[in-house]
Structure 1
Amino acid sequence: MAGGKKRKGKKLDVDFKNTALTDALQTQDMAAIAFALRHGPTVVPLMRPGDADDPRDVGEVWTYRDPNTGEIALLLFSDAAHKPETLPPHIALQSPQWLRAFLDRHRDEITTVFIDIAGPHPIQASPVDLLAALDA
């Protein structure tokens, strides 16, 4: 999927990554991470993929609920290659505007956001902190 996907005989050339975000995570430069989130896409795991024929259908975002506490985490990735195989196989490449709207809509349910949780350079932030970074 990372190299593109087929839809009705056409190959879509889509890279499921944000190179600027990958680079910023490597240096743990918070200003560069915020810039990359504001200006580039984010890889989002999906429970259900969107309908390729309906651009309004972005699919159903997958979140992690801690079985002990019930807290909900949103997992985001700088590159589809960093998504663990144990997560659902479907992904979407979402815009900064989508991320801002999603975090704003679910800020009371989501307790934390992990970016590249399995590495190579993971970070964790609150939805409020990410919203502030997206609004800066």
Structure 2
Amino acid sequence: MPGKKGRKDAELEFRNTALADALQTQDMAAVAFALRHGPTVVPLLRVGDRDNPLDSGEVWTYRDPDSGDIALLLFSDAAHKPETLPPGVALQSPAWLRAFLQAHSDRITTVFFDIAGPHPMQATPADLLAALGL
């Protein structure tokens, strides 16, 4: 079945191996390097329109029902995204992550990487912006 193999191969591309390795060692300098030089898997509430390259979809964020704090969840691999999150994902560039954090850093209180494991890590938007060179 050629269709299934092609779909499986496409799923395998939704990862950043350097980021996964950095998270395994909990090395913030290595995480910063991986974020500056590779993509990040981002969960989407709404997937973008394939016919419109300017439509990258709508990023899913978590709002704590008690405090109202908003968290951005990022993943080193789409396979690490919990099934309970919306099914869509995007592979976003370092420039996209920088722009997104700059635009929303006043509302996002924390960023979680691979929140369900295998090696979760947490940072503030300001820490990530500094890691991305801002």
TM-score by length of 2: 0.92
- Unpaired runs of at least 5, structure 1: 6-10
Q: Equivalent residue of 1:75, what SS?
A: strand
Measure the CA separation in 1 of the matches of 2:10 and 2:28. 32
What is the count of residue pairs matched by the alignment? 130
Matches within 5 A, 1:43-54: 43-54=41-52
Alignment-derived partner of residue 72 in structure 2: 74
1:31 Cα offset (Å) = 0.9
Instruction: Provide the C-alpha distance between the structure 1 equivalents of 2:107 and 2:66, rounded to a whole number of angstroms.
Output: 16
- Cα shift at 1:29: 1.3
Aligned to 2:32: 34
Shift of residue 12 of structure 1?
5.5
Structure ranking higher in helix proportion? 2
For 1:135, the equivalent position in structure 2 comes to 133
Q: Which structure's residues are more often strand, by fraction? A: 1
Distance 1:13 1:90 in 2: 11
Identical counterparts, % of pairs: 75
List structure 1 runs of 4+ shifted beyond 2 angstroms. 11-14
Judge conservation of contact 1:4–1:15 (CA < 8 Å) in 2: no
What secondary structure does 1:37 align onto?
Answer: helix
CA contact (8 A) 1:4 1:14 kept: no
Structure 2: gaps spanning 5 or more residues: none
